[in-house]
Amino acid sequence: MTLFESLNPGWLPSLREFQRSDILCAVERPMQARVILEKTKLIKNAKGRPVKAVLPFRAYRELVQLKISQEIFERPETQEAIRNAQRDIAARRTHRFKNLAEAFRWLDE
């Protein structure tokens, strides 16, 4: 089971085709919009209006990843966590560490 299936099982069956590394790779080096527009093929109806678009697979993966991220961000529990973090920062209930080792020592206490 991938990370994304565990977050919302059965949400997107075609997501099972991806490996986690594929999605992470797409996030690291996203295609530029100009390149996507150049490589996209439009399928038009008899009147010449676009009815479908054939995207490069990499662009498709990036759009799926973006949609997943947006849905996670819009979840009520995510928004509540963001509000709680903002309140903690405003109330100065935060810790600053010089390095990771110092943070781990604080967590062990």
Q: How far is CA 101 from CA 45, 94, 95, 96, 98, in A?
A: 62, 17, 14, 12, 8
Summary mean pLDDT of the chain: 81
Residue range 11-15: mean pLDDT, rounded: 47
pLDDT of the residue at 28: 60
> Which tens digits make up the pLDDT trace of 46-69?
999 999 999 999 999 999 999 999
Residue 53 belongs to domain spanning: 3-108
Beta strand extents in 9-69 (DSSP E only): 41-44, 50-54
Please tell me the total count of domains within the chain.
1
> Backbone dihedral region of 100: left (phi > 0), alpha (psi from -120 to 50 degrees) or beta?
alpha
Model confidence, pTM = 0.56
Residue range 80-84: mean pLDDT, rounded: 95
Amino acid type, 31: M
Asked if residue 61 lies in contact with residue 41, where contact means CB atoms within 8 angstroms, the answer is no
Query: 50: which strand partners?
Result: 44
pLDDT of the residue at 31: 84
